[in-house]
Structure 1
């Protein structure tokens, strides 16, 4: 497998975490989003959307991190990243979607660039914009974790939800968002900082990192 990603991309980071939790070997190829490599003719052949991650598998190319993570769960079910019961699986997917649909897209690199170039926002305004969505999302997630989590987002082992959460906490810190109001999320972040799969997926550990 070949994972095309950017070291600090939250979406690519999710895929790395899941691949590592599954114990799978993969080659990484860096796509520097800052220089526009994702819009090059060669990369658009892989992913017409011009975004990361893209995962090459047996002659096929998978795009969009939710689809990649779901494929990993189907193709490599052990260890599982979704619970056994169907309602529990829906809860985990809802936690992941809370981050992947309602927080992350609103504070990624493309949106920040659009705010700056189209609306003339300065960095303080961009940080405030990001904090608005991160805080409201984390408030809901903190409550969900209090009901379902036992050391992780759901239960006592990492799930798809944790693959989404850890990159978003990193992003929150980059935007200067205070996190003291989210002790359960911070406890998960601390657990991930001790877990080999999460350590290996961290941006600083990637071959294309600055």
Structure 2
């Protein structure tokens, strides 16, 4: 993996089905930034994120990791904010005022900090490998926290005057980057997105945009055929 790093350019260490990597791919695509995907398979070889060369780059042994030249940026929200600061003149991921940015960051963190970590692969593997939690119970755990979080998200955007075609206003941004992958996860675990009508409407507005289609899991170079 390390031999791919050059002094220039963007390299995203990613797994096709990682929702954290998915949200970064959306941000890169919205900003029109070219990057090379470096696949890190989270299941093969005991998890390629645990390989020594990758762990040297990211001691947390998680994806995504963005290399900008030889500068490493870790954590999906930090990566998205980094893109916003380095390329401020491309389409903005954050709105113009402090109050608006606070709202958008809160929505993004609802997913990235409160929902996603509870159904992350390493959590589910710990349940299985250390506590022998059956698959059905692990799936119920995931569904519980997704429903809990997305119900709150729905309440925060429904009938809020700051909500437009997207989570905030009429242009996609940081909150949409986080929402769409979490709705993808919801479907993976058998949940009906229609129970959150405002979120479903926002997702539909996102999915007609090329950036969201380009970032989708099934569009990634490491996605299995027929994904």
Tell me which interval the TM-score lies in, with the shorter structure as reference length: over 0.9
User: Which deviations, in whole Å up to 9, do the C-alpha atoms of 1:182-201 show, x marking residues without a partner?
Assistant: 01111111122211000000
Q: How many residues align?
A: 210
Tell me whether 1:60 sits opposite 2:71 in the alignment: yes
Q: Residues of 2 paired with 1:121 and 1:174: CA distance?
A: 19
Write out aligned runs for 1:28-107 (5 A): 28-35=37-44, 36-77=47-88, 78-107=90-119
Deviation at 1:119, TM superposition (A): 2.2
Q: CA RMSD in A?
A: 1.0
Deviation at 1:66, TM superposition (A): 1.0
Task: Identify unmatched segments of 5+ residues in structure 1.
Answer: none
Task: Identify unmatched segments of 5+ residues in structure 2.
Answer: 1-9
Q: With the length of structure 1 as denominator, give the TM-score of the two structures.
A: 0.97
User: Which deviations, in whole Å up to 9, do the C-alpha atoms of 1:146-201 show, x marking residues without a partner?
Assistant: 21311111111111000001110000111112322201111111122211000000
Q: Residues of 2 paired with 1:175 and 1:118: CA distance?
A: 22
User: Which deviations, in whole Å up to 9, do the C-alpha atoms of 1:78-128 show, x marking residues without a partner?
Assistant: 211111010010000000000001100001111111112222222211111
| Aligned residue among 26, 29, 51 for 1:17 | 26
More displaced 10-residue stretch of structure 1: 175-184 or 130-139: 175-184
Provide the secondary structure at the position in 2 that maps to 1:103. helix
Q: Residues of 2 paired with 1:99 and 1:156: CA distance?
A: 21
Deviation at 1:58, TM superposition (A): 2.3
Write out aligned runs for 1:45-194 (5 A): 45-77=56-88, 78-146=90-158, 147=160, 148-194=162-208
More displaced 10-residue stretch of structure 1: 169-178 or 13-22: 169-178
Structure 1 segments (4+ residues) deviating >4 Å: none
Q: Residues of 2 paired with 1:102 and 1:85: CA distance?
A: 25
Provide the secondary structure at the position in 1 that maps to 2:12. strand
Provide the secondary structure at the position in 2 that maps to 1:83. coil
More displaced 10-residue stretch of structure 1: 131-140 or 163-172: 131-140
